Amino acid sequence: MRRKVIAGNWKMNKDIQETVTLVNEIKERLNGFNKNVEVVICPPFVSLVVACGLIKGTMIKLGAQNMYHQNDGAFTGEVSARMLKAIGCEYVILGHSERRQYFKETNEFINLKVKQALANNLTPIICVGETLEERESGVTDQIVSTQVKGVLAGLTQNDIEKIVLAYEPVWAIGTGKTATNEQANQVHKLIRKLVAQLYSWALAEKLIIQYGGSVNQQNAFELLSQSDIDGALVGGACLKADSFVSIIGAAGEVG
Ligand code: PEP
Protein backbone atom coordinates (compact mmCIF):
# COMPACT_ATOMS: atom_id res chain seq x y z
CA MET A 1 0.00 0.00 0.00
CA ARG A 2 1.27 3.46 -0.89
CA ARG A 3 1.96 5.80 2.01
CA LYS A 4 0.20 9.17 2.10
CA VAL A 5 2.38 12.24 1.68
CA ILE A 6 1.04 15.60 2.87
CA ALA A 7 3.16 18.57 1.87
CA GLY A 8 2.58 22.20 2.77
CA ASN A 9 3.59 24.76 0.15
CA TRP A 10 3.95 27.97 2.10
CA LYS A 11 4.63 29.96 -1.09
CA MET A 12 5.89 33.52 -0.35
CA ASN A 13 4.39 33.61 3.13
CA LYS A 14 5.79 33.79 6.69
CA ASP A 15 8.95 35.59 7.75
CA ILE A 16 11.42 34.03 10.18
CA GLN A 17 9.46 34.86 13.33
CA GLU A 18 6.20 33.64 11.79
CA THR A 19 7.99 30.48 10.67
CA VAL A 20 9.07 29.75 14.24
CA THR A 21 5.50 30.23 15.47
CA LEU A 22 3.89 28.07 12.77
CA VAL A 23 6.41 25.23 12.98
CA ASN A 24 6.09 25.13 16.76
CA GLU A 25 2.29 25.04 16.51
CA ILE A 26 2.41 22.19 13.96
CA LYS A 27 4.87 20.27 16.15
CA GLU A 28 2.66 20.70 19.20
CA ARG A 29 -0.43 19.44 17.40
CA LEU A 30 1.42 16.50 15.85
CA ASN A 31 2.81 15.40 19.19
CA GLY A 32 1.74 11.77 19.71
CA PHE A 33 0.50 11.37 16.13
CA ASN A 34 1.73 7.95 15.11
CA LYS A 35 0.08 7.19 11.77
CA ASN A 36 2.10 6.29 8.69
CA VAL A 37 1.85 9.68 7.00
CA GLU A 38 4.81 11.53 5.50
CA VAL A 39 4.60 15.20 6.50
CA VAL A 40 6.59 17.82 4.59
CA ILE A 41 6.75 21.58 5.09
CA CYS A 42 8.08 23.86 2.36
CA PRO A 43 8.76 27.35 3.74
CA PRO A 44 10.49 30.11 1.74
CA PHE A 45 14.26 29.72 1.22
CA VAL A 46 15.18 32.23 3.94
CA SER A 47 13.34 30.22 6.59
CA LEU A 48 14.65 26.76 5.69
CA VAL A 49 17.63 26.71 8.07
CA VAL A 50 15.55 27.85 11.03
CA ALA A 51 12.75 25.40 10.17
CA CYS A 52 15.27 22.58 9.88
CA GLY A 53 16.49 23.21 13.43
CA LEU A 54 12.93 23.28 14.78
CA ILE A 55 11.81 19.98 13.21
CA LYS A 56 14.84 17.93 14.33
CA GLY A 57 13.68 14.75 16.03
CA THR A 58 10.09 15.08 14.78
CA MET A 59 8.24 13.32 11.95
CA ILE A 60 8.25 16.53 9.87
CA LYS A 61 10.43 16.65 6.77
CA LEU A 62 11.75 19.76 5.06
CA GLY A 63 11.25 20.78 1.44
CA ALA A 64 12.04 23.79 -0.74
CA GLN A 65 9.69 25.37 -3.26
CA ASN A 66 12.10 25.62 -6.18
CA MET A 67 15.77 25.28 -7.20
CA TYR A 68 18.05 25.81 -10.19
CA HIS A 69 19.37 22.97 -12.34
CA GLN A 70 23.09 23.69 -11.84
CA ASN A 71 24.97 22.96 -8.62
CA ASP A 72 27.12 26.12 -8.50
CA GLY A 73 28.11 29.07 -10.64
CA ALA A 74 27.25 32.49 -11.94
CA PHE A 75 23.47 32.27 -11.68
CA THR A 76 22.59 35.35 -9.66
CA GLY A 77 19.66 34.89 -7.35
CA GLU A 78 19.38 31.13 -7.77
CA VAL A 79 19.69 28.31 -5.21
CA SER A 80 20.95 24.82 -6.04
CA ALA A 81 19.90 21.31 -5.09
CA ARG A 82 23.31 20.77 -3.50
CA MET A 83 22.76 23.78 -1.23
CA LEU A 84 19.26 22.64 -0.29
CA LYS A 85 20.50 19.17 0.56
CA ALA A 86 23.30 20.62 2.68
CA ILE A 87 20.84 22.48 4.93
CA GLY A 88 18.61 19.47 5.51
CA CYS A 89 16.03 19.55 2.73
CA GLU A 90 14.69 16.18 1.61
CA TYR A 91 12.09 17.40 -0.87
CA VAL A 92 11.76 20.13 -3.48
CA ILE A 93 8.61 21.26 -5.30
CA LEU A 94 9.28 21.59 -9.03
CA GLY A 95 7.13 22.89 -11.87
CA HIS A 96 4.44 24.44 -9.70
CA SER A 97 1.85 26.16 -11.90
CA GLU A 98 2.79 29.54 -10.43
CA ARG A 99 6.35 28.98 -11.67
CA ARG A 100 5.04 27.88 -15.06
CA GLN A 101 2.73 30.90 -15.26
CA TYR A 102 4.79 33.76 -13.78
CA PHE A 103 8.32 32.55 -14.54
CA LYS A 104 7.58 30.81 -17.84
CA GLU A 105 9.00 27.46 -16.76
CA THR A 106 8.60 24.81 -19.46
CA ASN A 107 8.43 21.02 -19.17
CA GLU A 108 11.98 20.83 -20.60
CA PHE A 109 13.35 23.23 -17.99
CA ILE A 110 11.51 21.45 -15.18
CA ASN A 111 12.93 18.16 -16.45
CA LEU A 112 16.48 19.52 -16.02
CA LYS A 113 15.67 20.46 -12.45
CA VAL A 114 14.14 17.05 -11.73
CA LYS A 115 17.35 15.35 -12.87
CA GLN A 116 19.49 17.67 -10.77
CA ALA A 117 17.29 17.17 -7.70
CA LEU A 118 17.60 13.39 -8.05
CA ALA A 119 21.36 13.65 -8.56
CA ASN A 120 21.50 15.38 -5.18
CA ASN A 121 19.20 12.91 -3.41
CA LEU A 122 16.30 15.31 -3.11
CA THR A 123 12.80 13.98 -3.73
CA PRO A 124 11.16 16.16 -6.36
CA ILE A 125 7.44 16.83 -5.99
CA ILE A 126 6.69 17.46 -9.65
CA CYS A 127 3.52 19.42 -10.42
CA VAL A 128 1.31 19.03 -13.47
CA GLY A 129 -2.21 20.22 -14.21
CA GLU A 130 -4.49 21.88 -16.74
CA THR A 131 -5.90 25.41 -16.82
CA LEU A 132 -9.63 26.10 -16.75
CA GLU A 133 -9.57 26.92 -20.46
CA GLU A 134 -7.90 23.58 -21.21
CA ARG A 135 -10.41 21.67 -19.07
CA GLU A 136 -13.33 23.42 -20.73
CA SER A 137 -11.89 22.66 -24.17
CA GLY A 138 -11.77 18.97 -23.28
CA VAL A 139 -7.98 18.65 -23.55
CA THR A 140 -7.14 17.88 -19.91
CA ASP A 141 -5.86 14.36 -20.66
CA GLN A 142 -3.68 15.56 -23.53
CA ILE A 143 -2.21 18.46 -21.55
CA VAL A 144 -1.46 16.39 -18.45
CA SER A 145 0.02 13.55 -20.53
CA THR A 146 2.31 15.96 -22.38
CA GLN A 147 3.43 17.50 -19.10
CA VAL A 148 4.10 14.11 -17.48
CA LYS A 149 6.07 12.85 -20.48
CA GLY A 150 8.03 16.12 -20.62
CA VAL A 151 9.00 16.35 -16.97
CA LEU A 152 9.93 12.66 -16.78
CA ALA A 153 11.91 12.54 -20.05
CA GLY A 154 15.08 10.50 -19.74
CA LEU A 155 14.40 9.29 -16.18
CA THR A 156 15.30 5.69 -15.36
CA GLN A 157 13.13 3.15 -13.53
CA ASN A 158 15.28 3.79 -10.50
CA ASP A 159 14.59 7.55 -10.73
CA ILE A 160 10.83 6.99 -10.93
CA GLU A 161 10.95 5.18 -7.59
CA LYS A 162 12.28 8.37 -6.01
CA ILE A 163 9.81 10.97 -7.27
CA VAL A 164 6.42 12.26 -6.21
CA LEU A 165 3.97 13.67 -8.77
CA ALA A 166 1.34 16.24 -7.84
CA TYR A 167 -1.75 16.69 -9.97
CA GLU A 168 -2.84 20.28 -9.44
CA PRO A 169 -5.57 21.58 -11.74
CA VAL A 170 -4.60 25.24 -12.11
CA TRP A 171 -8.22 26.36 -11.80
CA ALA A 172 -8.42 24.81 -8.34
CA ILE A 173 -5.29 26.43 -6.89
CA GLY A 174 -6.03 29.17 -4.40
CA THR A 175 -9.54 29.60 -5.78
CA GLY A 176 -11.56 27.60 -3.27
CA LYS A 177 -12.79 25.45 -6.20
CA THR A 178 -11.76 21.85 -5.65
CA ALA A 179 -11.87 19.20 -8.34
CA THR A 180 -14.54 16.67 -7.46
CA ASN A 181 -13.25 13.40 -6.04
CA GLU A 182 -14.09 11.74 -9.37
CA GLN A 183 -12.46 14.43 -11.52
CA ALA A 184 -9.26 14.25 -9.49
CA ASN A 185 -9.13 10.46 -9.27
CA GLN A 186 -9.75 10.12 -13.00
CA VAL A 187 -6.67 12.22 -13.81
CA HIS A 188 -4.61 10.37 -11.18
CA LYS A 189 -5.56 7.10 -12.89
CA LEU A 190 -4.58 8.54 -16.26
CA ILE A 191 -1.16 9.58 -14.89
CA ARG A 192 -0.61 6.16 -13.32
CA LYS A 193 -1.55 4.41 -16.57
CA LEU A 194 0.81 6.64 -18.52
CA VAL A 195 3.69 5.87 -16.14
CA ALA A 196 2.84 2.17 -16.51
CA GLN A 197 3.07 2.51 -20.29
CA LEU A 198 6.34 4.43 -20.08
CA TYR A 199 7.89 2.15 -17.42
CA SER A 200 5.89 -0.70 -15.86
CA TRP A 201 2.74 -1.36 -13.85
CA ALA A 202 4.84 -2.47 -10.90
CA LEU A 203 6.51 0.93 -10.81
CA ALA A 204 3.31 2.86 -11.50
CA GLU A 205 1.57 1.09 -8.62
CA LYS A 206 4.24 2.36 -6.24
CA LEU A 207 4.22 5.95 -7.50
CA ILE A 208 2.93 8.57 -5.06
CA ILE A 209 0.54 10.98 -6.80
CA GLN A 210 -0.64 13.87 -4.67
CA TYR A 211 -3.66 16.04 -5.39
CA GLY A 212 -3.42 19.79 -4.96
CA GLY A 213 -5.98 22.52 -5.35
CA SER A 214 -7.90 24.06 -2.43
CA VAL A 215 -7.51 21.00 -0.20
CA ASN A 216 -8.83 21.84 3.26
CA GLN A 217 -9.95 20.14 6.45
CA GLN A 218 -13.48 19.68 5.08
CA ASN A 219 -12.63 17.97 1.79
CA ALA A 220 -9.35 16.20 2.64
CA PHE A 221 -10.78 12.91 3.87
CA GLU A 222 -12.96 12.35 0.79
CA LEU A 223 -10.19 13.27 -1.63
CA LEU A 224 -7.61 11.15 0.18
CA SER A 225 -10.01 8.20 0.23
CA GLN A 226 -9.93 7.92 -3.57
CA SER A 227 -8.13 4.90 -4.96
CA ASP A 228 -5.34 6.80 -6.73
CA ILE A 229 -4.89 9.88 -4.54
CA ASP A 230 -1.86 9.31 -2.34
CA GLY A 231 -1.57 12.60 -0.55
CA ALA A 232 -2.02 16.31 -0.89
CA LEU A 233 0.01 19.35 -1.83
CA VAL A 234 -1.59 22.02 0.31
CA GLY A 235 -1.31 25.78 -0.19
CA GLY A 236 -3.63 28.09 1.75
CA ALA A 237 -4.64 25.54 4.37
CA CYS A 238 -1.02 24.80 5.35
CA LEU A 239 -0.53 28.32 6.69
CA LYS A 240 -2.56 27.56 9.81
CA ALA A 241 -1.48 24.73 12.08
CA ASP A 242 -5.06 23.64 12.82
CA SER A 243 -6.07 23.13 9.21
CA PHE A 244 -2.74 21.62 8.14
CA VAL A 245 -2.73 19.12 10.99
CA SER A 246 -6.41 18.26 10.36
CA ILE A 247 -5.49 17.34 6.79
CA ILE A 248 -2.62 15.20 8.09
CA GLY A 249 -5.12 13.62 10.50
CA ALA A 250 -7.47 12.85 7.60
CA ALA A 251 -4.61 11.14 5.76
CA GLY A 252 -3.92 9.09 8.88
CA GLU A 253 -7.57 8.01 9.10
CA VAL A 254 -7.62 6.86 5.50
CA GLY A 255 -4.50 4.86 6.25
C1 PEP B 1 -0.62 24.91 -4.18
O2 PEP B 1 -0.15 26.02 -4.17
O3 PEP B 1 0.08 23.95 -4.54
C4 PEP B 1 -2.02 24.75 -3.78
C5 PEP B 1 -2.58 23.61 -3.98
O6 PEP B 1 -2.63 25.85 -3.22
P7 PEP B 1 -4.10 25.86 -2.54
O8 PEP B 1 -4.16 24.69 -1.61
O9 PEP B 1 -4.16 27.17 -1.82
O10 PEP B 1 -5.09 25.75 -3.65
Let me know: does 35 contact 62? Beta carbons within 8 Å.
no
Instruction: Pick the residue whose CA is nearest to atom 6 on ligand 1.
Output: 235
Percent over 70 (pLDDT), the chain: 100
Catalytic residues, which ones? 96, 168
Amino acid identity of residue 225, one-letter, is S
Cα atoms in the Cβ-side hemisphere of radius 13 Å centred on 174: 10
Looking at residue 17, which CATH number applies to its domain?
3.20.20.70
Amino acid identity of residue 147, one-letter, is Q
| Ligand 1, pocket residues at CB < 6 Å | 9, 168, 173-174, 212-215, 233-237
pLDDT of residue 46 exceeding 90, the answer is yes
Cα 191 to Cα 130: distance, rounded to the nearest angstrom? 13
Query: What atom in ligand 1 is closest to the CA of residue 127?
Result: 3
Query: How does pLDDT run across 125-158, given as a tens digit for each residue?
Result: 999 999 999 999 999 999 999 999 999 999 999 9
How far, in Å, is the centroid of ligand 1 from the Cα of 72?
30
pLDDT score recorded for residue 178? 86
Alpha-carbon separation of residue 183 from 46, 116, 136 (angstroms): 36, 32, 13
Cα 167 to Cα 172: distance, rounded to the nearest angstrom? 11
Where in the sequence is the domain holding 250, given as residue range(s)?
Answer: 4-254
Residue 26 phi/psi, 5-degree rounding, is: -65, -45
Q: Which of 66, 101, 167, 173 to mutate to test the pocket of ligand 1 (most atoms within 8 A of CB)?
A: 173
Query: How does pLDDT run across 159-194, given as a tens digit for each residue?
Result: 999 999 999 999 999 888 888 999 999 999 999 999
The better pLDDT of the pair 27, 174 is held by 27
How far, in Å, is the centroid of ligand 1 from the Cα of 225?
19
How far, in Å, is the centroid of ligand 1 from the Cα of 70?
27
Total of domains in the chain: 1
